[in-house]
Structure 1
Amino acid sequence: MVQRKRQLINAPHVGPLNDWVRSVSVERGRSIRDSESVTPWFDPSMAGVNTKVLVLLEAPGRRATASRGSGFVSIDNNDGTAANLFTLFQESGLQRADVALWNIVPWYLPAGQKTKPTKRSDVLEAQPFVEQLIPLFSQLRIVVTMGKMAGAGWSTLCQGSSMISNLSWRAVPHPSATNLNVNPSFREDIRNAFMDASAQIG
């Protein structure tokens, strides 16, 4: 599956997004010190530029990196967050063909063998890049932020852009395995948000 996705990185529906990924890598390559602090690819099995619903998490997990996983931000990745999203998509009726999965901080935040928590400073550093990304989604109608930092980052973006602030937006908890195990009600919150998004786009 991963090999097939790599062959489709430049497919028309994701090519502009992955060109943007390349531009981020080039610009940040001048300053980043950790070779693992990279931006994964958009998943060609999802909607790409035709996205109507943008599901926005905090930062890529290590299974999204090419060195430790697929190299894609994807609900097919081998980690708890992706597995929860895969199930919640199915339960809510939200279709891959309508959705892009991304992060308010586009690049991986390494901390040795672990992923460091997303901080406000990371979100602020990423903001100019994300502002460049959003107009590439020509059909975007709804944004679902997942996690406190994703919500805070999107709120800041809304304050600086009328185009962004006009989009329908809903904040829900992060879908990590730990989060949903400790707070079972969060699963219902996310499912309801996805169901509402699916209903709004028809």
Structure 2
Amino acid sequence: MQTRTLADPETLAARRARLQEPHIAPLTAFAERLRHSEALGAYFDVPDFDPRSGGVHSEILLLLESPGPKVAQTGFASPDNPDRTAENLSCLLKLAGISRERCLLWNIVPWQLSAAGVVTPTAAQVRAATPATLELLTLLPALRVVVLVGAKAQGGWRFVSPALPGPLPTVNCPHPSPRYFATDPQAPVRALSALVEARLLVKNT
């Protein structure tokens, strides 16, 4: 299967040209609002949602930690980004039988913390991003399950869940970073199991 496709300038330009398609336009507008949020008091480098995803029709939300360095280059939160974490996630989705049109990728802290390298968000940064996550959830009427990818997303959900209007199933998934997968040989197996569980939850709701 092809991975890292957003490394190709033509593919990247074609993806950007789709940002106003009906399924993704409300999310494009949401990302633009975050970039200029008066509540946050500053300009934030927030990527766009991937038009190849299900957009507002997504049944599965994959919530990671914060945008990685390659996101600063492509401008998209996407499994097609040219890095090994995105590549691992893309392969896991394929193996789990989850089509790209059924899911959406985002981050518990949606703005770039560093374009130069990976920066782990602090608890305060995760908590500050809670209103953004809650607003995103209101834009996803077909959502059936949230996959919390990595410890920061899993810990940050405790700030989100009390404000939800009703129950929303969640599944904990190991972060697909190559470093974590290298240190824990069972992590890829657990990640795949988590994604299969998410697919089955959607099927049974």
Tell me if both proteins adopt one fold, taking TM over 0.5 as the criterion: yes
- Residue 3 of structure 1 is matched in structure 2 by 13
- Residue 80 of structure 1 is matched in structure 2 by 84
CA distance in 2, matches of 1:48, 1:42: 8
Is the CA contact (8 Å cut-off) linking 2:171 and 2:198 kept in structure 1?
A: no
Unaligned 5+ segments in structure 2 are 1-10
Is the CA contact (8 Å cut-off) linking 2:173 and 2:195 kept in structure 1?
A: no
- Residue 58 of structure 2 is matched in structure 1 by 51
**Of the candidates 120, 143, 166, which is equivalent to residue 117 of structure 1?**
120
SS in 1 for 2:143: coil
Give the superposed CA RMSD.
1.6
CA distance in 2, matches of 1:200, 1:30: 35
Give the residue type in structure 2 aligned to 1:57: L
CA distance in 1, matches of 2:132, 2:78: 20
Moved over 4 A (4+): none
Instruction: Indicate whether 1:161 and 2:164 are aligned.
Output: yes
Q: Give TM-score, length-normalised by structure 1.
A: 0.90
- Residue 60 of structure 1 is matched in structure 2 by 67
Measured after TM superposition, the shift of residue 118 of structure 1 is 1.2
Measured after TM superposition, the shift of residue 186 of structure 1 is 1.0
Is the CA contact (8 Å cut-off) linking 2:97 and 2:196 kept in structure 1?
A: yes
Deviations along 1:149-181, one digit per CA (max 9) or x if unpaired, are 101111221022233xx1110112211110011
- Residue 26 of structure 1 is matched in structure 2 by 36
SS in 2 for 1:144: strand
Give the residue type in structure 1 aligned to 2:129: A
- Residue 174 of structure 2 is matched in structure 1 by 173
SS in 2 for 1:114: coil
Is the CA contact (8 Å cut-off) linking 2:68 and 2:117 kept in structure 1?
A: no
CA distance in 2, matches of 1:143, 1:161: 13
Q: Give TM-score, length-normalised by structure 2.
A: 0.89
- Residue 150 of structure 2 is matched in structure 1 by 147
Number of residue-to-residue matches in the alignment = 193
Among all aligned residue pairs of Structure 1 and Structure 2, give the percentage whose two residues are the same amino acid.
Answer: 31
